[in-house]
Amino acid sequence: MFRAFSTILKRDLTLAMRRKSDITSTLFFFVVVVSLFPLAIGPEMNTLRLIAPGIVWVAALLASMLALDHMFSVDYEDGSLEQMLLTPQPLSILVLAKILAHWLVTGLPLVLMAPVLGLQYDLSADAIGILMLTLLIGTPALSFIGAIGAALTLGLRGGGVLVSLLVLPLSIPTLIFGAGAVEATVSGLGGEGHLSMLLAILLMSAVLAPLAVSMSLRISSE
């Protein structure tokens, strides 16, 4: 199973490196959305510090959905998905590898870019650290949740719109606790409770999402 997991992970990362537009478009969208708000709102630092967590997290949520449509569609079109369904290894392990590859390509760059964008909103070093931590915990959860929507809409016409309709409501708790942890840290209340809830969401999605995605892929391929 580990060999199958590593093979799928390396394959998806190699394909992603060949389609660098998927990586750059996600990161560029995230940077542009976060950078436009200070220009529109003005240079009032207190206001920018107050709205920064929500803006960064909303931008991260929207950016993470840009590549969801390609998570399984390429394998579905070239027949690789059918071969994955026929392998003796558990399909959930292969799905986990694909979700991890998706996060490494789309989620991890957002985490690394967050400190630079946080400086635009005059966030303190502690707030930027919590922001990175919340994104590090929350963006994998977004990938797990998004994978369910991508699998359910696989092969459907207009699947990109349906993915958004399915994923956005399920991602709201992650958005609330991710932004809330940063806001609580900035206000001096401490964000440990929000981080605990965010970690619980990640663990729950990591356990349940591969199973749900596996069943959805089998249904979509029939």
Span 113-131, pLDDT tens digits: 888 888 888 888 888 889 8
Query: What span, in angstroms and rounded, lies between the C-alpha atoms of 210 and 148?
Result: 8
- What pLDDT is attached to residue 198? 92
Residue boundaries of the structural domains of the chain = 2-221
pTM over 0.85: yes
- What pLDDT is attached to residue 188? 75
- What pLDDT is attached to residue 144? 93
CA torsion through residues 13, 18, 19, 24, sign: positive
Residue recorded with tokens 């394998």: 75
- What pLDDT is attached to residue 199? 94
C-alpha distance from residue 11 to each of 4, 98, 107 (Å): 11, 9, 18
Query: What span, in angstroms and rounded, lies between the C-alpha atoms of 157 and 136?
Result: 33
Query: What span, in angstroms and rounded, lies between the C-alpha atoms of 2 and 7?
Result: 8
Span 17-44, pLDDT tens digits: 877 777 788 888 888 888 888 888 877 7
Query: What span, in angstroms and rounded, lies between the C-alpha atoms of 10 and 39?
Result: 40
Q: Which residues contact 83 (CB under 8 A, 6 or more apart)?
A: none
- What pLDDT is attached to residue 159? 59
> Running along the chain, 222 residues long, what does each successive block of 10 average in pLDDT?
83 81 81 85 80 88 82 77 80 90 89 87 85 92 90 72 81 90 81 88 92 85 68
C-alpha distance from residue 126 to each of 49, 98, 118, 180 (Å): 13, 33, 11, 14
- Greatest CA separation for the chain: 59
- What pLDDT is attached to residue 160? 64
DSSP state for residue 169 in the 8-state scheme: H
- What pLDDT is attached to residue 205? 92
